[in-house]
Amino acid sequence: MINTRVAVAVHILALIASKPHEDLPSDYIAASVNTNPVVIRRLLGMLKKAGLIQTTAGKAGASLTRPPSDISLLDVFRAVEPKDHLFAVHDNPNPHCPVGKSIRHVLDDAFGTAQAALERKLSSETIETILHHLFEEE
């Protein structure tokens, strides 16, 4: 299972985008996510490093660096996922085994196709579309 970092980061950005004129402290965001403020601060740091948010020293809250329509879920994924590849193939399959000698090539192709499809989908969704879906039911 893929960890929840991406989902929590999207939650954070959607919350910030939904209250653009409020300075939301990490405690407030943590209560919305239902997690520890330390987790939120760590993710805020990753989002800031990726250039998706800005913060001011000594002041609570963060703001988006660009409109929600210009922040794709792929941007968020890349900001908080440390690896370039979703899938990894074990390093040393037996080259003398009929399966082992070709498994890397076969799986690299299959996994690469799956990752490309995921990246296409994530690039087509934005924080704005998330907000639209969140509030269309109200």
12 found inside a domain: yes
The total number of structural domains in the chain stands at 1
Is residue 138's pLDDT more than 70?
no
What is the Cβ-side half-sphere exposure of residue 114, based on CA atoms within 13 angstroms? Answer: 10
In a domain, 70, yes or no: yes
In a domain, 28, yes or no: yes
Tell me, what's the pLDDT at 89?
A: 79
Q: Which two tokens stand for residue 33?
A: 């996510």
- Full domain range(s) for residue 28: 5-83+125-135
The pLDDT of residue 84: 73
Question: What are the distances in angstroms from CA 34 to CA 5, 8, 30, 79, 91?
Answer: 13, 10, 6, 21, 38
pLDDT in the model for residue 91: 82
Check whether 80 has a pLDDT greater than 70: yes
pLDDT at 83: 76
pLDDT band at 34 (very low <50, low <70, confident <90, very high): very high
Q: Which of 31, 22, 29 is nearest to 47 (CA)?
A: 29
**CATH number of the domain that residue 75 is part of:** 1.10.10.10
Cβ pair 62, 113 in contact under 8 A: no
| pLDDT tens, residue by residue, 89-121 | 788 889 999 999 999 889 989 998 999 999 999
pLDDT of residue 63: 94
Per DSSP, the residues of 17-53 read: HHSTTS---HHHHHHHHTS-HHHHHHHHHHHHHTTSE
